[in-house]
Amino acid sequence: PMDATKEPFNSPDVVLALKHALDREQMVKLLMAGFGRVGNDHPIAASDPSFNPNIAQRAYDPDKARFHLKKAGKSDLTLELHAAPVAFEQAVNTAELFAQSAKPAGITINVKREPDDGYWSDVWLKKPWVASFWAGRPSASMMFSSVYASGAPWNETHWKNDSFDRRLTESRSLADPAKRREVYFELQQMIHDECPTIIPAFASWIDAARKEVRGFVPNPNFLLSDHRVAERVWLSA
């Protein structure tokens, strides 16, 4: 997430340049050992019934990144990206990988490794560009309302979009699931196109157990059956 109220992240072309400057495939391959899926700069995973499959996948393209930098009047750009392992295990490595893939686009990313202690209180929602992580939510509406609506308490980009807010509010009154899903498609497109956040990948949850463990139910939102394994699992004799 980038702070939409701070330069240079208030420039749509700078944001687009950064979105094209990260090699997402390399991230999944090297940092996730292949256990993940490439993301497309919106928060709804392909495992979610509300996922919009019609949004064109954004790809690593240093030339396109340079094009957008030029449009923004910045042929070269130097930025600081704040990260810590507490954000997610590979946050610092992701930032460093980003710095390498951004160089051909004329973008210099200085990785600022922050202490784990105090990261969520002193860095996240405070610094202009940070590493962040979100697990899944039971519904797309909950994700949109928690992170992307203008008044959301965890609006980590400080992004405000009146059309997004209006359509999200309208979706809550739709009794027809198909119509509500159509609105969710629109909201994903808006985030992909306009929100200054890069969502490069979705990590796979990997759970393992011995053969006598019974009753485990995988959950796409979080590991260990959405942290409910203690109430769902038993041991066979």
pTM metric for this prediction: 0.91
Q: Does residue 147 sit in the same domain as residue 216?
A: no
Q: Does residue 216 sit in the same domain as residue 161?
A: no
Residue 234, domain extent? 211-237
Q: Does residue 154 sit in the same domain as residue 101?
A: yes
The vertex-23 CA angle with 145 and 43, nearest 5°, equals 10
**Is 135 part of any domain?**
yes
Q: Does residue 229 sit in the same domain as residue 137?
A: no
The vertex-34 CA angle with 90 and 226, nearest 5°, equals 70
Q: Does residue 157 sit in the same domain as residue 215?
A: no
CATH number at residue 51: 3.10.105.10
Give the pLDDT confidence score for residue 218 in this predicted structure.
85
Q: Does residue 25 sit in the same domain as residue 114?
A: yes
Give the pLDDT confidence score for residue 147 in this predicted structure.
97
Structurally, the chain folds into a number of domains equal to 2
**Is 183 part of any domain?**
yes
Q: Which residues contact 178 (CB under 8 A, 6 or more apart)?
A: none
**Is 4 part of any domain?**
no
pLDDT tens per residue, range 129-153: 999 999 888 899 999 999 999 999 9
Q: Does residue 132 sit in the same domain as residue 221?
A: no
Q: Does residue 169 sit in the same domain as residue 194?
A: yes
Supply the Cα-derived Rg of the chain in whole angstroms: 19
Contact by Cβ (8 Å): 183, 174: yes
Q: Does residue 179 sit in the same domain as residue 223?
A: no
**Is 2 part of any domain?**
no
Extract the residue ranges of the chain whose pLDDT is less than 50: none
